[in-house]
Chains A and B, each alone.
Chain A
Amino acid sequence: MNTPDLAAIRAQFPILSEKIYGKDLVYLDNGASAQKPRAVIDAMVHAMEHQYANIHRGLHWMSERTTDVYEQTRDLAAGLMNAASREEIIFVRNSTEAINLVAHSFGRHLLKPGQAVLISEMEHHSNIVPWQMLRDACGIELRVAPITDDGELDFPAFEALLADGKVGLVAITHMSNVLGTYLPAERVIQTAHAAGALVLLDGSQAIVHRAVDVQTLGCDFYAWTGHKLYGPTGIGVLWGRKALLEAMPPFLGGGDMISSVTFAHSEWARVPHKFEAGTPAILEGIGLGAAIKFVQNLGYDAIAAHEAALTEYGLAHIGEIPGLTIWGHAKDRGGVISFTMDGAHPHDIATLLDRQGIAVRAGHHCAEPLMRRLGLNATARASFAAYTTYGEIDALVAGLRRVREFLA
């Protein structure tokens, strides 16, 4: 993206012109949640002002039109991921709910005691805790594939953990929210399948930055969340292969997920509705549709190229600051840069940067086991988006130098 393009993109995000302590907002916490473009805001406001009712069951104009717009998002999501059919798109609240759905409906019912779930050392808590709960409830073993010091999946160890054929599911991040590492996903999937395991990819970070084609990847489940993809909170997607989804029992019970109910017995609706109990996040679903169109209009090629250049620039300039250590040196990495500074706790770094209008994340990033693997309690993290500028990275570098003068 050249400079005029970037200015046009930024102009679509009203929040980016806010001032923090009288300074321009430098928002580098996109890995936690991205800001929202005008199109998303307008789509949600338009629905509330002009076209809103409950969906899927109303027999009136408002309900039918609202259903249409909401269901268009399912088509858009299917298109975004190149799903084989729109029925493979299940709306959930977020990636955490998507993974819990799989842990419950697939893990508890289609995995057998004695089988194992294999995760990695660089998972977010959302891809650890549901499997621990499954382990404790159902006697499923939980295995953890190590990473190398560079922050890549230790592939020989990963293969060794699959070797006994007991792993029924590999649940693994497509892109680390701490190290920025991209998983060699196709190789992981092929290796897992050859060992008889299915694969769930946690795409919370990955789908924001690069095109995801679930058919080319060959995975079995793919989870992601709307609010990191410039959409609203409270809406996410679980994609799953239709045959698998059909074999899985529902997650939550209630309205919308049934075809008939008597006191003696209920029949389930067909996928995807079998997994969508209760009134869904209608407005958020409509907002997510606008977010997907926004991303498609920009194009993943342009987003990926811009962010790759930013990341290279960021790694070079942040890495030059004396006493600063960058964590994660995978060959294939995205725009998430975690760092520590000698003599400065990450929380102090974040507080002092905040006063300069610069928003970064500091803490364990919901990845405590990874922090332990790195021998750390916390890192600071700058994470980029399609609207991030080189000037913002310069501001971060200047801000970090100022922090260093103060603390180190």
Chain B
Amino acid sequence: MNAVESLYQSVILKHSRAPRFRVELGQGAAACHCRNPLCGDDVTVQWRAGPAGAIAEIGFTAEGCAILIASSDLMAESVLGLDRDRALKKARAFRAMLDDGPEIAEPTLASFAALRDYPARKRCATLPWQALESLMSGDMKCQS
């Protein structure tokens, strides 16, 4: 089994088939929508802050491939409870990792580094993180 097949088998399938965070948070939640016009991948990330400003609720809706769905789900799982700064740092580290930066510490997220060899697929993994980055930085221009 090659690296990409391993990625699919170990991470992507679980999170794309039964994504826990694929939910709409409804009215009042801040949302950012990102689209990749090259392939039609489309994701909206929503969140609500708790009393201390940390991510108390997060969810996404998406149309696209298994990598997009799994990456969105894992992202939500891994940033739930983080404050804005830490979530923003993680988003930047994830995107940097796919641009040949260092692998990040969490093994499930790090496994997405296998997509470095697939320029056309990197965006599938980074699209939800891009939306999160916009939400956390307050810069709502989601470049797609």
Q: Which of B1-60 contact A (CB under 8 A)?
A: 2, 4-5, 8-9, 13, 38-40
Using CB atoms, name the residue of chain A closest to B4. Answer: A355
Using CB atoms, name the residue of chain B closest to A345. Answer: B65
A378 to B124, CA, bound (A): 14
A348 to B115, CA, bound (A): 12
Nearest Cβ on chain A to B38's Cβ, whole angstroms: 8
Check if A352 is an interface residue, CB within 8 A of chain B.
yes
Given contacts A406-B13, A407-B8, A407-B13, A351 and B121 within 8 Å (CB-CB): yes
Nearest Cβ on chain B to A395's Cβ, whole angstroms: 16
Given the complex, which residues of A lie within 8 Å of B9, measured CB to CB? 406
Given the complex, which residues of B lie within 8 Å of A348, measured CB to CB? 8, 65-67
Given contacts A347-B124, A378-B39, A352 and B8 within 8 Å (CB-CB): yes
Given the complex, which residues of B lie within 8 Å of A378, measured CB to CB? 39-40
Given the complex, which residues of A lie within 8 Å of B39, measured CB to CB? 347, 363-364, 378
Given the complex, which residues of A lie within 8 Å of B64, measured CB to CB? 345, 347, 377
A351 to B122, CA, bound (A): 12
Check if B99 is an interface residue, CB within 8 A of chain A.
no
A204 to B58, CA, bound (A): 47
Count residues of B near A (Cβ-Cβ below 8 Å).
Answer: 18
Given contacts A345-B65, A351-B118, A406 and B124 within 8 Å (CB-CB): no
Q: Is chain B's interface secondary structure helix, strand, loop, or mixed overall?
A: helix
A310 to B118, CA, bound (A): 30
Q: A406 contacts B5, CB within 8 Å?
A: yes
Given the complex, which residues of B lie within 8 Å of A352, measured CB to CB? 4-5, 8
Residue of A346, A351, A363 with highest tally of chain B CB at under 10 A: A351
Partner of B40, one of A21, A351, A355, A377: A377
A352 to B66, CA, bound (A): 12
Q: Which of B107-140 contact A (CB under 8 A)?
A: 118, 120-121, 124
Check if B63 is an interface residue, CB within 8 A of chain A.
yes
Partner of B2, one of A21, A377, A407: A21
Given the complex, which residues of B lie within 8 Å of A377, measured CB to CB? 40, 63-64
Q: Which of A314-369 contact B (CB under 8 A)?
A: 344-348, 351-352, 355, 363-364
Given the complex, which residues of A lie within 8 Å of B66, measured CB to CB? 344-345, 348, 407
Residue of A21, A345, A346, A355 with highest tally of chain B CB at under 10 A: A345
| 10 closest A-B pairs by CB | A345-B65, A347-B65, A377-B40, A348-B66, A348-B65, A355-B2, A355-B4, A363-B39, A406-B8, A351-B121
User: Residues on B close to A: CB < 8 A?
Assistant: 2, 4-5, 8-9, 13, 38-40, 63-67, 118, 120-121, 124
**Can you list 22 residue pairs at the A/B interface with Cβ under 8 Å?**
A21-B2, A344-B66, A345-B64, A345-B65, A345-B66, A346-B65, A347-B39, A347-B65, A347-B120, A347-B124, A348-B65, A351-B118, A351-B121, A352-B8, A355-B2, A363-B39, A377-B40, A406-B5, A406-B9, A406-B13, A407-B8, A407-B13
